[in-house]
Amino acid sequence: MTQTSARKLTCRMLLALAGAAAMTVPAAATTASAAEAAPRRGCVVVYFDLGETLVHTADDNSVRYVPRAAEHLRALRARHIPVGLITNVPSAWGATDAARAAELKKVIGKDWKGSGPFAWADFGDRIFTPRTEAERKPAPALWDRARQAAGRCRVVYEAETTGEVRTARSLGYVAYQVNRPSWPAYMPVPLIAALAHIPHR
């Protein structure tokens, strides 16, 4: 089997898993007793790296979405799947995640050249940045904090680098490397939605 064939087979298996898992979601109960007996609906939170995963900095220092990133975020938004960022910025940018996120938004906004604004509202307070330089990725601190914030929800991490994907996977994330040739640019949204209903702990 060629590498391309193997990748296509893996993609088909992932999509089949999504479909199978989605079919296990219980239908709405018609009585109170049925509702009590039905499994509780699961949840999933998708975290992203930022640079070269969702946004690209061009040679002229302009910043815009990576191809298909905006569409991926819209598809997650349509499914009401929460998203967050796990990204390195200078710890000196602020004393809190909120303060560092505010500075990050200014830096991105200053050079943004996309056809529409970056979807900051989708991320809410789920933007995790280093409190100290020792917390910078690839240290596990940011992934640990983000996973704790997600509570009992399954966590997904999407990034462009193999190292970050491996680290996230070792910390309990379902991790996906984006923008690889012959693979979907991002983890298929039906699969992400289905992950919410697969027991994991």
CA-derived radius of gyration, the chain: 18
How many separate domains does the chain show? 1
- Please check whether residue 76 lies inside any domain of the structure: yes
- Please check whether residue 85 lies inside any domain of the structure: yes
- Please check whether residue 166 lies inside any domain of the structure: yes
Q: Note the pLDDT tens digit of each residue in 127-139.
A: 999 999 999 999 9
- Please check whether residue 201 lies inside any domain of the structure: no
- Please check whether residue 57 lies inside any domain of the structure: yes
What are the φ/ψ torsions at residue 28 (nearest 5 degrees)?
Answer: -60, 135
pLDDT value for 19? 39
Q: Note the pLDDT tens digit of each residue in 28-76.
A: 222 223 223 333 468 999 999 999 999 999 999 899 999 999 999 999 9
pTM of the model: 0.81
pLDDT at 107 over 90: yes
User: Residue 7 carries which side chain, given as an amino acid letter?
Assistant: R
Distance, CA of 144 to CA of 150 (rounded, Å): 10
Distance, CA of 59 to CA of 62 (rounded, Å): 7
CATH code for the domain of 33: 3.40.50.1000
Domain with 76, as residue range(s), is 3-195
| Contact (CB, 8 A) for 48 and 175 | no
pLDDT value for 200? 63
- Please check whether residue 181 lies inside any domain of the structure: yes
For range 87-115, the mean pLDDT: 96
Confidence class for position 18, pLDDT limits 50, 70, 90: very low
Q: Which residue has the higher pLDDT, 33 or 94?
A: 94
pLDDT value for 41? 63
- Please check whether residue 93 lies inside any domain of the structure: yes
pLDDT at 83 over 70: yes
Which residue has tokens 């809410």? 124
Planar angle of CA 143, 194, 199, nearest 5 degrees: 70
pLDDT at 2 over 80: no
pLDDT value for 197? 87
